[in-house]
Amino acid sequence: MDFRTWYDALSKPAWTPPPGTISVIWTILYPIILVSFGFVFFGACRGQLPWLVALPFIINLIANLLFFPIFSGLRNLPLASADILIVLGTIIWTVLAIWPHYPWVAVAQLPYLVWVSIATVLQVSIMVRNG
């Protein structure tokens, strides 16, 4: 069964945004993530930031990139839920880690934090409903 058929067949909360809306949200967020994460990675590579500050950004990026293959490829709802919890936790960690160095980078993470908070509740809801 293709992904769209599988996804449409899942039991989802009534407030689930349509896939097109989710795509638009990520289209807005990815440039913010690219600029802010790039700034942090560049700063760490140049020795302007400790690598420990960049660590949550690295973990977040990996977990973020793994979510869709886990969700859509493996179709593993519990693992996707665990992954998105890592994404959410590392966003909070990124804000705390970078704030003392570059508060603007921390503030730039807030739209990402809001969306992933919503997406986490959605993902866990889908997992519970389709347990």
Residue boundaries of the structural domains of the chain: 19-129
How many CA atoms lie within 13 Å of 30's alpha carbon, on the beta-carbon side? Answer: 8
Whole-number pLDDT of residue 76: 98
Distances (CA, A) of 15 to 8, 26, 75, 98: 14, 18, 21, 33
Q: Is the pLDDT of residue 48 over 90?
A: yes
Reply yes or no on whether the pLDDT at 23 is more than 90: yes
Q: What span, in angstroms and rounded, lies between the C-alpha atoms of 93 and 109? A: 11
**The whole model's pTM is what?**
0.95
Alpha helices, DSSP H only, in 17-98?
19-45, 51-68, 77-98
Given pLDDT bands bounded at 50, 70 and 90, which one contains residue 131?
confident
Q: State the pLDDT confidence band at 47, using cuts at 50, 70 and 90.
A: very high
